[in-house]
């Protein structure tokens, strides 16, 4: 009969991660279903794994590192990646996550800008310098310079809010 991996429950699922700040290498081994010597090896292979070391080189992992180890375990054991392939896939996942975060920040900034434009007092005669300043700012962005009335701004704002909610629900 095959030897049961550390920390893996009968159904093949991993135990829930408790709410605490730091985990020892033994705890992480149990939570992730791998032995401590494997975790030490993975630290050499995956630069994203940098547990804090204290007295006597004792390792203390944080919650995000436990999640990373579970992701590495999944790539290697469940999806059949090689170490090199898993390393590349992790880099790709990190880039995707950064892109998602950036997209969410961009949408959030547009919603704030749309809110400010909709709520701004209507001025009949704006200073010509303000127009030049805005045109200069738009010239530095990749967005086209478009003049919208308040109704169009309100519609744009509601569309941006909807996009923000879709992004939040998806990621």
Residue ranges of domains in the chain? 1-80, 98-170
pTM reported for the whole predicted model: 0.56
In sequence order, what are the residues at sequence separation of 6 or more whose Cβ sits closer than 8 angstroms to the Cβ of residue 30? 6, 7, 15
Task: Identify the weakest region by mean pLDDT among 14-28, 61-75, 103-117.
Answer: 103-117
Q: What CATH number labels 1-80?
A: 1.10.1660.10
Q: Is the pLDDT of residue 92 over 70?
A: yes
pLDDT band per the 50, 70, 90 thresholds, residue 85: very high
Cα separation, 117 vs 95, in Å, equals: 33
pLDDT score, position 138? 56
Grade residue 153 by pLDDT with cuts at 50, 70 and 90.
confident
Question: How sure is the predictor about 2, in pLDDT bands with cuts at 50, 70 and 90?
Answer: very low
* pLDDT at residue 81 in the model: 95
pLDDT of residue 3: 42
Greater confidence (83 vs 100) lies with 83
Q: What integer pLDDT is reported at residue 151 of this predicted model? A: 78
pLDDT at 30 over 50: yes
């Amino acid at each position: 009969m095959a030897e049961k991996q550390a920390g893996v429950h009968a159904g093949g699922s991993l135990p829930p991660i408790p709410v605490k700040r730091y985990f020892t290498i033994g705890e992480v081994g149990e939570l992730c279903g791998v032995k401590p010597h494997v975790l030490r090896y993975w630290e050499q292979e995956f630069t994203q794994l940098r547990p804090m070391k204290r007295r006597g080189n004792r390792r203390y992992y944080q919650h995000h590192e436990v999640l990373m180890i579970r992701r590495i375990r999944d790539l290697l054991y469940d999806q059949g990646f090689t170490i090199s392939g898993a390393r590349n896939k992790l880099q790709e996942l990190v880039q995707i996550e950064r892109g998602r975060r950036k997209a969410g920040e961009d949408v959030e900034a547009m919603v704030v800008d749309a809110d400010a434009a909709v709520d701004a007092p209507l001025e009949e005669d704006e200073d010509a310098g303000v127009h030049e300043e805005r045109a200069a700012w738009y010239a530095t962005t990749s967005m086209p310079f478009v003049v919208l009335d308040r109704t169009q701004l309100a519609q744009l704002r509601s569309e941006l809010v909807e996009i923000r909610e879709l992004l939040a629900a998806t990621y």
